[in-house]
Amino acid sequence: MVTNISSFGRSGLSDWVIQRISAVILASYTLFILATLLLTPDMDYPQWRALFSSFAMRFFTLVTLLSVLAHGWIGMWTISTDYLTPRMIGSGANVIRILFQLGCILLTLLYLVWGIEILWGN
Amino acid sequence: MKDNRPVNLDFTTFKLPLPAITSILHRISGGFLFIGLALLLYLLDQSLESAEGFARVTEWLGNPLVKLVTWAVLAALLYHLFAGIKHLVMDLGIGETISGGVLGARLVIAASLVAIVAAGVWIW
């Protein structure tokens, strides 16, 4: 089995499964939010706030954020290991790729913490 | 090894078939969403912060530039969603032939074009 230390689940098969489970969660959340906004064209602040105050919505949103973390990381890792290689961009590629991957991890963690703050901090 | 054998690894001269175009667009839209999520989180943050914040977001969404950026993020999201659904369908073993791949790619482009135009109408 091919494993890679920098991939999300340490193996391609694990990443493959996580990518698909998180995709279904992300699709469900996207459709739910779009449907909510379309069915409530005159959404006002109390309604919007009440929606995000419910435990179910906070749970759904947090699970979605965790899915973004996994899904986005696996996607950006795939992109970086395909294009940021010595063959594609030259000898500095390994350093550039690792810096790029660190940046992606930092951004996804930022999204997660920011999201938690939005949900429970406001 | 014979060094005069014909080799063409110049990607710029390759013509991408339609499924390859939808595949690379799936990647590009994914990378764009990775950054665009910051905008969505910012709008959510402001809109939940206070009634004033909610009013601010509503006002921003009336601005043509904000409308355009929001539409771009929404377009990437819708495209990525449809291309992702096609991926899951193909994982089930449906449409894995060459003609099935082309049909799937056409369906993804058709569905996302309709959804993206509808999103544009909704925003404006």
CA quadruple B109, B64, B37, A62: dihedral, nearest 10: -100
The answer to whether A26 and B78 have CB atoms below 8 angstroms apart is no
- Cβ distance B45 to A114 less than 8 Å, yes or no, reads yes
**With an 8 Å Cβ cutoff, are A30 and B81 in contact?**
yes
Distance from CA of A49 to the nearest CA of B (A): 6
Q: Evaluate whether residue B6 is within a structural domain.
A: no
Chain segment B75-101, per-residue pLDDT in tens: 999 999 999 999 999 999 999 999 999
Q: Which residues contact A103 (CB under 8 A, 6 or more apart)?
A: none
In degrees rounded to 5, what are phi and psi of residue B9?
Answer: -115, 25
Rounded Cα distance between B107 and B111, Å, is 6
Whether A2 is covered by a domain: the verdict is no
User: Do the Cβ atoms of B112 and B79 come closer than 8 Å?
Assistant: yes
In a domain, B84, yes or no: yes
In a domain, A23, yes or no: yes
- Interface list for chain B against chain A, based on CB atoms closer than 8 Å: 27, 30-31, 33-34, 37-38, 41, 44-45, 47-49, 51, 54-55, 77, 81, 84-85, 87-88, 91, 122
A17 CA: distance to closest CA in chain B (Å): 11
DSSP readout, A96-121? HHHHHHHHHHHHHHHHHHHHHHHHHH
Predicted local distance difference test score (pLDDT) of residue B9: 72
Q: What is the CATH number of the domain that holds B107?
A: 1.20.1300.10
Amino acid at position A9, single letter: G
* Residue-range definition of the domain harbouring residue A29: 12-121
Percent of chain A with pLDDT over 90: 84
Distance between CA atoms of B119 and B69, rounded to whole angstroms?
A: 12
pLDDT of residue A2 exceeding 70: no
Q: Which of A61, A78, A51 is nearest to A25 (CA)?
A: A61
Q: How far is A70 from chain B (nearest CA, A)?
A: 12
Q: What is the pLDDT of residues B33-75, one digit of tens each?
A: 999 999 999 999 999 999 999 999 999 999 999 999 999 999 9
Res A122: pLDDT: 65
Q: What is the pLDDT of residues A65-96, one digit of tens each?
A: 999 999 999 999 999 999 999 989 999 999 99
- The answer as to whether A107 is a domain residue is yes
Q: Is there a domain that residue B93 lies in?
A: yes
Whether A85 is in a domain gets the answer: yes
For residue A39, being part of any structural domain is answered with yes
Q: Residue A99 maps to which CATH number? A: 1.20.1300.10
Q: Return d(Cα A37, Cα B47) in angstroms, integer.
A: 13
Chain B residues with CB under 8 Å of A122 CB are 45, 48-49
Min distance A72 CA to chain B CA atoms (Å): 6
Q: Is residue B14 part of a domain?
A: no
Chain A environment of B88 (Cβ under 8 Å): 20, 23-24
Does A45 have pLDDT greater than 90? yes
Number of domains in chain B: 1
Q: Is A115 exposed, middle or buried, given 0-12, 13-18 or 19+ CB atoms closer than 10 A? A: buried
Determine, yes or no, domain membership for A112: yes
Q: Do A118 and B45 touch (CB under 8 A)?
A: yes
| Cα distance between residue B104 and residue A55, in whole Å | 38
Number of domains in chain A: 1
In a domain, B39, yes or no: yes
- Domain range for B88 is 23-123
ipTM of the complex: 0.91
A104/B34 Cβ within 8 A = yes
Is A32 within a domain?
Answer: yes
Contact flag A104-B85 (C-beta cutoff 8 Å):
no
Q: Would you say residue B54 lies in a domain? A: yes
Residue whose C-alpha is closest to residue B101's, from B114, B115, B87: B87
